[in-house]
Amino acid sequence: MGLKEKLCSRACFGIFSKTTDSAFVEAAGIAGMDFIILDTEHGPAGLETLHNHVRAARLTPMASVIRVKGIDANGIGSALDTGADGVQVPNISTAQQAGAAVDAARFYPHGSRGVCRFVRAADFGDMGREKYFAAANEKLLVLQVEGREGVENLDAILEVQGFDILFVGPYDLSQSVGVPGDVESPEVLALMRDIAAKAREKGVLLGAFSDTLKRNNTLQEEGFAYIAYSVDINIYSEALKKICIKK
């Protein structure tokens, strides 16, 4: 069962990844994560590393999603060329931006993504053209709304066709309301609940970042299905702290 199908039946949990070591990616899949977000917005991985990360994820049942740097058609297309299961686009503030992201991620007739079938996603040309283009247009597309402008334009963004998940970034959202980093502030939590209610009305799947296990549970209760918990390197560091207890 693919990630899209899982999301329609239950909450799915993943992590962000900022490592350049594909063993961390493979280990996340072995551990049972539903998905991993390979972060190029705030992470160091380049395109060659991303190809290896996607291969590592493919060795497990875990889906791979690449977070690109922004609304850039070449960047979105290159991310999908790796064979990743989806792409995540940050900082969506308007319906026009949402439409541009869809256009960059989909082939005709749903978009105008640059065409090359001699890429890993198409088995380097071995996959039949019709099969490749049809499968490519089913890849997961996640749009992030994480600022005041995006919240104000949410109704129009939700009317855009062609994306699968609306992802709320609580840290950028906290900054936009004047409490940077305070993701548990009443204002941030209330905004997230309002966003969730509007998305549910439109039948749009919801995603969000969490950095506590408690928040994982409350997000699930609020109707979020695509829940990204923390970052691989931070999880590793926190686990080591429990071992290195100083006397």
- Residues labelled as active-site residues: 42
HSE value, Cβ hemisphere, 13 Å, CA-based, for 221: 6
CB atoms within 10 A of CB 109: 7
Tell me 197's DSSP state. H
Distance CA 14, CA 209 (A): 10
Contact between 180 and 170 under an 8 Å Cβ cutoff? The reply is no
Nearest CA to 16 out of 33, 35, 2, 37 is that of 37
In the chain, DSSP assigns E strands to: 12-17, 35-39, 63-67, 86-89, 140-145, 165-168, 205-210, 226-231
Q: Is the separation of the CB atoms in 34 and 12 below 8 Å?
A: yes
CB 87 within 8 A of CB 78: no
The tokens for 106 are: 């989909």
Token pair, residue 104, equals 């960059």
